[in-house]
Structure 1
Amino acid sequence: MTAPEITGAGTAGAAPEHLRGRGAWFKRLPVVHQLRQSVGLQRGMLVAGLVLTVAFVVLAAGARWIAPYGWAQLRGPDGMFGAQQPPSADHWFGTTVGGYDVLSRVVWGAQTALFVVVVAVLSSIVVGVVLGLLSGYFGGWVDRLLVLVADAVYAFPSLLLAILLAIVISGGQSSMWGGIFAAALSITVVFVPQYFRVVRAEVVRVKGEAFVDSARVLGTGHWRIMTRHVLRNSIRTLPLIVTLNASEAILTLAGLGFLGFGIEPTAAAEWGYDLQRAVADVTSGIWWTALFPGLAIVVAAMGMTLVGESLNDLADPRLRSRSRSKQVSGKVAATSVVADDQQKGDVA
């Protein structure tokens, strides 16, 4: 076989150079990149978590079209729903002690939970990242003060702090957006120290790198160094914290509602409140009013937790090396060619 033939055979299936970049941006997306890296159990956990999370988001976004009734609707075309009706063709999940349709409350409750998660996580990221960046970059007495406050807040019981802040922020209001923002902001205060500590630690590490010193020598201003050099290299672990905090936000919201500090049923649907109202029904054999809100809390929190734990595992460089070694060994095995006659000769 001549050299041109070997070269042609080796590159026959290769894509042209100008086409190799197409679709590369899609493969570099955060979740897609981790999904391609994952193997075995980690891939199964990540896929299961993504399926549950996407189902939760779709349910929340399409609540207006998915829910058969409103969250506070008590009457249908045929009259009043009736209290504590068992699951039937008219009410697939039955009705609550207040006469609300359980299925509609569960679907609309997903939308309320999604609103709280988005507001809480976004506000926590903005405040925590800004404070962590300033504290880690400039240091001094401001850094020591912020670290002291963050440690004090982080050491305080999160649910108790959320209850206290929910009472202070809501001020007795029971409107939908008032309750959502009260719950979200109370959760935000709990989450800010986590982002602050992570970002500050990364900023302290990155600002001592050679490329940051080079930027200072070239006369680059502090604002440009912080935003273009330090910040971009200090927030790589935030997606892991976001997924875990999203599940914690759902559980904290459910805890507030279960303890009576959540949103009123006429203002919005909330899983924790519905679960608290259904506690007395369980002893009477009425299981459907507690089963479906509780199951919704577990499934939504578990989906985001699986995504977060999978991303956390994939951040381990040892797992990446095992995945890469497995891929390389598979490619080597696929390209190794041994003639049948030689194999027969070796066996003989």
Structure 2
Amino acid sequence: MTATTPTPASARVRPRWWRRLPVLQQLQQSVGLQRGMLLTGLVITTIFVIVAILAPLLAPYGYNQLRGPDGLFGAQQPPSSDHLLGTTVGGYDVLSRVLWGAQTALLVIIVAIVLSVFLGVALGLLTGYLGGWFDRITIVIADAIYAFPSLLLAIVAAIVISGGQSSLWGGILAAAISITVVFIPQYLRVVRAEVLRVKSEAFVESAKVVGASTGRIMFRHVLRNSTRTLPLIVTLNSSEAILTLAGLGFLGFGIEPSAAAEWGYDLNKSLSDVTSGIWWTSIFPGLAIVLVVLGITLIGESLNDLADPRLRARRKPAVTPAQAVAAAEPAAREELGDVQ
């Protein structure tokens, strides 16, 4: 009887590059409820991104279209074959506004996160590696920013940028700048703590000994090892970006309906409809906000659980001890018969 030799670890095929991506790598490590949460969040977020990208193709009408081939749409029309989700108090198609609103929300997330990550990581790298008076002043300013609510900063930014009546990019920049100002201290502190840990490692000291420049050490050695927790913060801040944009629109400081579709604005205009029994003008924009925030939050919470060893569930072994004993009994009996 020929025995199978186990494959050494060095001879195993390395996983494909896409399996080492931040979210996909955690998906392979997750089990049970964690995997269910992460998969649900990924599905919802993927649908949101696809709808946002394909909004011009999926939406039956434009976001500011009031007239069709048969004339005006009419205000507060119930769901029908012409308007699957009805029309708003302003005469816009609800389905089209919801689909186009996903595109606006995605643009805000991209602009806000890119600005926050770029500035926060750069400041965290500089303060953590250089230290001194620059580090102390930056940390004091970062702590002071926490005292200001993000929505208040968003309102001020909207008024400064566009006088409170925003165009498409004016509203996006108003929300993105406010989110950037509030979230920079988070990236700064996380990256700074990692830089303080990494710069004392042996490989950094070796780079200094061989004469590597400060810039090369900071960006090639320190930065690459100080950004492991950024995917977690990015997911959580993305949901906050959507809520900030919706809050601006709900309070009347968002984007004008003729410039772009925005879920918060549609919710604000549908307040009077709720008391009149007109439910379709408010439920669908509100449901879109809830689902997108839920999907992104599920991804962030799952990544947080997987990053914490105390919350990470143990993966069940592929073969239980009882199964291993049962599988080994026939071979043991055969060997015992040969010996006898």
TM exceeding 0.5: yes
Matched residue, 1:86:
78
Classify the secondary structure of the residue corresponding to 2:137.
Answer: helix
Question: How much does 1:213 deviate?
Answer: 1.7
Q: Provide structure 2 residue ranges, at least 5 long, that are not aligned to the other structure.
A: 334-340
TM-score using structure 2 length: 0.92
Q: How does 1:173-322 map to 2 (within 5 A)?
A: 174-320=166-312, 322=313
How many aligned residue pairs are there?
332
- Matched to 2:314, the amino acid is S
Q: TM-score, normalised by structure 1?
A: 0.90
The farther-off stretch of 23-32 and 159-168 is 23-32
**Aligned: 1:165 with 2:157:** yes
Distance 2:254 2:85 in 1: 23
301-310 or 151-160, which deviates more: 151-160
Residue 19 of structure 2 corresponds to residue 27 of structure 1 = yes
| C-alpha distance in 1 between matches for 2:321 and 2:24 | 25
2:317 aligned partner: 327
The separation in 1 between residues aligned to 2:116 and 2:321, in whole angstroms, is 47
Q: CA deviation at 1:155?
A: 2.1
The one-letter code sitting in structure 2 at the alignment partner of 1:136 is: G
Distance 2:67 2:286 in 1: 25
Matched residue of 1:323: which SS?
A: coil
- Cα pair distance change 1:333/1:71, threshold 3 Å: farther
Q: Which one of 318, 329, 336 corresponds to residue 339 of structure 1?
A: 329
For residues 146-199 of structure 1, give each alpha carbon's deviation from its aligned partner in whole angstroms, at most 9, with x where no partner exists.
Answer: 111111112211211221122112245532122222221222111111111111
Contact 1:127 1:192 (8 Å CA) reproduced: yes
After TM superposition, list the pairs within 5 Å mapping 1:71-110 onto structure 2. Answer: 71-110=63-102
Separation (CA, whole Å) in 1 of partners of 2:231 and 2:187: 11
Cα shift at 1:217:
1.8
Q: Is the 8 A contact 2:42 2:295 kept in 1?
A: yes
The answer to whether the 8 Å contact 1:244/1:308 transfers is yes
Structure 1, gaps ≥5 residues long: 344-348
Letter in 1 for 2:317: Q
Work out whether residues 158 and 164 of structure 2, in 8 Å CA contact, stay in contact via their aligned partners in 1: no
Q: CA RMSD in A?
A: 2.2
| Amino acid in the other structure paired with 1:272 | G
Taking a change above 3 Å as real, the CA distance of residues 71 and 137 of structure 1, as seen in their structure-2 partners, is: same
Among 51, 62, 75, the alignment partner of 1:59 is 51
Looking at structure 2, the residues matched to 193 and 341 of structure 1 have their Cα atoms a distance apart, in angstroms, of 62
Question: What residue in structure 2 maps to residue 346 of structure 1?
Answer: none
Report whether the alignment pairs 1:137 with 2:129.
yes
Q: Distance in 2 between matches of 1:76 and 1:108?
A: 18
CA shift for structure 1 position 341: 11
Secondary structure of the residue aligned to 2:135 is helix
Cα distance in 2 between the residues matched to 1:18 and 1:171 = 64
CA contact (8 A) 1:92 1:103 kept: yes
CA shift for structure 1 position 19? 8.1
